[in-house]
Chains A and B, each alone.
Chain A
């Protein structure tokens, strides 16, 4: 079982805004920076967001990150067909002394 909890799937239509959640606890999300990754089919993960809310170079401002307490959120506005992918969150876990990941959310653009 992944340490971080993400909804398995989310769907939305083009142009809409979606929010993807990532829930953890006091040893990980609450006190450590969260990163978000996009994984398009057949490709390696791409870093979208780091330090909770900083966009990686080249990532459009349609993507945003937010964290409050034990939950981090990835927001995507102006949804496009090309955003259809798996999205993962990750953070350092102080109790496990390891980087931990969520199970991923499959975003479907209808």
Chain B
């Protein structure tokens, strides 16, 4: 079965940046919209944004505007999510997920990666 494999856990200092990766074994899958979602300890899911890899266009949640950058490298079937100016509130498990449809409003996260734990601590 096609999988999304995410990069390993990270520990970051407050104020630093992180760049997570999400690689798929299916080179056609990476051409679909890719969402990034996180879940902080004891909290619900929070959507960070989505990228359309065909045009490289992105839609970010307003909360993360200016701090988040999503990119896709179709040659390596890898999606990336960079988040800057980290604080302890960014401690969470971060998930990538391909959309079940290539549409911003109706393409919900479909197939999910295993998640990457990021701990922000001094």
Binding site for B on A (CB under 8 A): 2, 32-33, 35, 44-47, 50-51, 56, 88, 90-92, 94, 96-104
Contact = CB atoms under 8 A, between A and B. Distances in A.
Given A50-B100, A99-B47, A45 B62 contact: no
Contacts, number: 66
Interface bin, chain B: 20 to 34
A11 to B, nearest CB: 20
Contacts of A50: 100-101, 108, 110
Given A56-B100, A102-B44, A45 B105 contact: no
Nearest to B111: A47
A47 B100 CA distance: 9
A92 B49 CA distance: 12
Interface of B: 35, 37, 44-47, 50, 59, 61-62, 95, 97, 100-101, 104-106, 108-115
B109 A88 contact: no
Given A50-B110, A92-B104, A92-B106, A98 B115 contact: no
B70 to A, nearest CB: 14
B47 A47 contact: no
A35 B108 contact: yes
Contacts of B45: 45, 88, 90, 101
B96 to A, nearest CB: 10
